[in-house]
């Protein structure tokens, strides 16, 4: 027969039980401060100290290097070209990057011209106004754009006071269809 170890006995009275000197009473959690418990090795959250500390003062004057992921749909193409470009770039830079990427990926239909100055950028294919070439991309408020070719110069005898582009001609050609849809509803 194996002898049983003797454990210290506590006396229970009107007061809380007092641990004996042989067997100390351990409470959980041992620390009352939850921050100490989180930082204690093997605690609930074992966080190594010193590795993840933040700097005392964050310098807000340094420029942040950010890039933007923009979707540019080129007229008559099936899907958008995804362009990663700096947030400080302009609309002209985006047009140049989108045309180069479209030609570099050998997408169909082939562009009749690859000169970026022959294209203009719009918010959508239904937007009649093109974006200014000097406008910063970060200020535009959109990440989806439509690229179409600029209109070819017309003879001076036929020139009108309204500037039109192939995009605006395409949008206005859909206007009768929109009126028909309103009648059907």
Q: Determine the Cα–Cα distance for residues 169 and 97; give it in Å rounded to an integer.
A: 25
Q: pLDDT value at position 153?
A: 77
Number of neighbours of residue 171 by Cβ within 10 angstroms? 17
How many domains would you assign to the chain? 1
Res. 22: pLDDT tops 80: no
Let me know if residue 78 belongs to a domain: yes
Examine residue 89 and state whether it is found in any structural domain, yes or no. yes
* CATH value at residue 123: 3.10.20.90
Question: Which structural domain, as residue segments, surrounds residue 146?
Answer: 67-152
Q: Is residue 183 one of the residues assigned to a domain?
A: no
Q: Does pTM surpass 0.75?
A: no
């Amino acid at each position: 027969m194996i002898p049983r170890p003797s454990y210290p006995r506590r006396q229970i009275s009107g007061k809380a039980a007092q641990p004996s000197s042989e067997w100390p009473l351990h409470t959980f959690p041992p620390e009352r401060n939850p921050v100490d418990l989180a930082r204690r090795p093997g605690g609930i959250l074992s966080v190594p100290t010193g590795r993840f500390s933040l700097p005392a003062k964050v310098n807000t004057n340094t420029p942040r290097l950010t890039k933007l992921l923009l979707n540019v749909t080129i007229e008559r193409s099936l899907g958008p070209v995804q362009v990663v470009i700096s947030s400080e770039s302009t609309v002209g830079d985006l047009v140049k990057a989108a045309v180069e990427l479209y030609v570099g990926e050998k997408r169909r239909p082939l562009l009749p011209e690859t000169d970026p100055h022959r294209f203009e950028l719009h918010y959508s294919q239904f937007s009649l106004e093109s974006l200014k070439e000097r406008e910063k991309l970060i200020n535009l408020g959109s990440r989806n754009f439509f690229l179409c070719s600029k209109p070819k110069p017309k003879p001076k005898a036929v020139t009108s006071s309204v500037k039109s582009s192939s995009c605006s001609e395409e949008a206005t050609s859909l206007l009768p269809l929109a009126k028909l849809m309103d009648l059907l509803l």
